[in-house]
Amino acid sequence: MLRNFCSSRSGGAALTVSVALWITLVPSLMAQTAGTGALTGRVTDSSGAVVPGVMVAATSLDTGQSRTVTTSEDGSYTLNLLPPGNYRVRFEIAGFKAVEVPSVKVNVTETAVLDRSLEVGAQTEAVRVEAEIETIQTTSSALGTVATAATVTELPLSTRNYTNLLAMSTGANASVQDASLIGKGTTLIAVNGGGTAQNTFLQDGVVINNWFSFNTGVEGVSVGGFAIPNPDAIAEFKIQTSSYDAGYGRNPGANVNVVTKSGTNSFHGSAFEFFRNTALNANAWFRNYQGLPKPVLNSNQYGGAFGGPIKKDKLFFFVSYQETGQKNGLTGYGAASATAPPIPTGNRGKCPTGWTTLSQCDSAGQAFVPALAAAISPQAPCNRTGNLNNTTSNGGIQVQCPNGTVSDPLFNINPVAISLLQLQFSDGRYLVPSSGMDPGGPNAGYALQNYSIPAIFKDHNGMGNFDYLINSKHTLAGRYQYERDPLQAPFPVQNALQQGNFV
């Protein structure tokens, strides 16, 4: 039984909870599922004849959990639904020497093949295979790549996001993440010509796709993704790019299967911190040439992971936490363009020559400027009380000048704002630029103001796993992950300040 609970809302928290109860009672079950692997093979004697009835026991080197089967009439065996990891495998039957293979690697979604040949002898005699065993995937034609925990933690990841490694697989294509970008840095991949929203993501056997967007997520889109476990919490992952069986169907793109770490019979943990600071960064050549300071670029990621036994060989736990704080003035989120209110031309706020206080509406319902002896425009009708309530024909709001000052019948411009409008630099440029955007169009009379302030990103990512080994055929596993990552950026989308979060 697999359940996935997923919620997302803008500016809030993101939560993924998975509870898995794996029951292996029926031999006809699939050899592996999205979050497990399998071991299969054939046992023969020294002459090549098959040997039925051989007991095959696979024992996890991490938890001590043992699974046993016996070979069938044709000498074959299959151990289904094995959690990924390393196993000690032992073959024994009366009349033959026992054979023990100290370590066999089982990967997620794969069926490892291990064939053995037994020698005639007493059962008390044992043959130990010391050579490293390389299992070959011969039961499936699926193409893909497995990344172990060492791969995920040792390869350079600027934002510690495993999705940056997905493009290493055959047929996968992704844009390279800019190390200066703010946010989680999730990579969108396209596989074999498919779209970036046509992939399936699974974590510990549970589909975690965000069904609002069918995507891994782009920073700034509130329903765009899902929680990303930090590298210290990942045991391994596999990306399947083609020829996988129908059990992994759903989308035509890739299948990405992530397995998070579990506790073992020994306590283990890690702590980390990754730090970047503006003081340690170099300035861009053009900024130096213009005498501009280095833009803000601060990043700090820290956290840790810890796991171990609650009861040896029975109950295990694993927890991890990562916090990320970023402040960045380099990215697209740090630069913005905003449309300022209509700005008076000419001498900026000082009543233009020939302009006086606007009169009330004339008999035609139009605002009238006596000094100009003409109606402003039919596009500027008066309201019922006879006051100007719209824009002039050029798109800017007409001002009136009682007592020689600027006032706006719509917004009542503050005197401080008038002073800012009139403020000039020594070279004659105004602090607030002149109208110039879209001349003659619907935005005429408005000013385009470009500026940059640092964008801020915070991410809180926690995980808690437990595994209870009831017996050799029953395992109860629980997975809990929480992530909250508000992103504050100045007007990144449609000139609106937003906070985003991802599941």
pLDDT beyond 90 at 447: no
Q: What is the pLDDT of residues 3-56, one digit of tens each?
A: 333 333 333 444 545 444 443 333 334 455 668 899 999 999 999 999 999 999
Of 21, 23, 27, which is closest to residue 40 (Cα–Cα)?
Answer: 27
Report pLDDT for 178.
66
Instruction: Dump pLDDT digits (tens) for 212-231.
Output: 655 554 443 334 568 889 99
Q: What is the pLDDT of residues 399-446, one digit of tens each?
A: 444 444 444 443 455 667 667 766 777 766 666 655 444 555 555 544
Span 139-159, average pLDDT: 84
pLDDT band at 474 (very low <50, low <70, confident <90, very high): confident
Task: Give one word for 461, left, alpha or beta, with left for phi > 0 and alpha for psi -120 to 50.
Answer: beta
pLDDT of residue 169: 86
Q: How far is CA 496 from the centre of its chain?
A: 22
Q: How many CB atoms lie within 10 A of CB 42?
A: 18
Mean pLDDT, the chain, rounded, equals 72
pLDDT band at residue 362 using 50, 70 and 90 as cut-offs: very low
Alpha carbons 407 and 311: distance in angstroms, whole number: 77
Q: Could you tell me the two tokens for 47?
A: 């002459």
Residue 295, pLDDT score = 80
Encode pLDDT of 157-213 as tens digits: 888 889 888 888 888 888 766 666 667 878 888 888 888 888 888 999 888 887 665
The predicted pLDDT at position 158 comes to: 80
DSSP letters, 410-423, are: TT---HHHHHHHH-
pLDDT for residue 31: 53
Distance of alpha carbon 259 from alpha carbon 252, whole angstroms = 22
**Domains of the chain, earliest start first:** 32-128 (2.60.40.1120), 144-284+328-334+462-498 (2.170.130.10), 338-452 (no CATH)
pLDDT score at 392: 38
pLDDT tens string 261-298: 999 999 999 999 998 888 888 888 887 888 888 888 88
CA distances from 465 to 3, 240, 305 (A): 15, 25, 11
What integer pLDDT is reported at residue 367 of this predicted model?
46
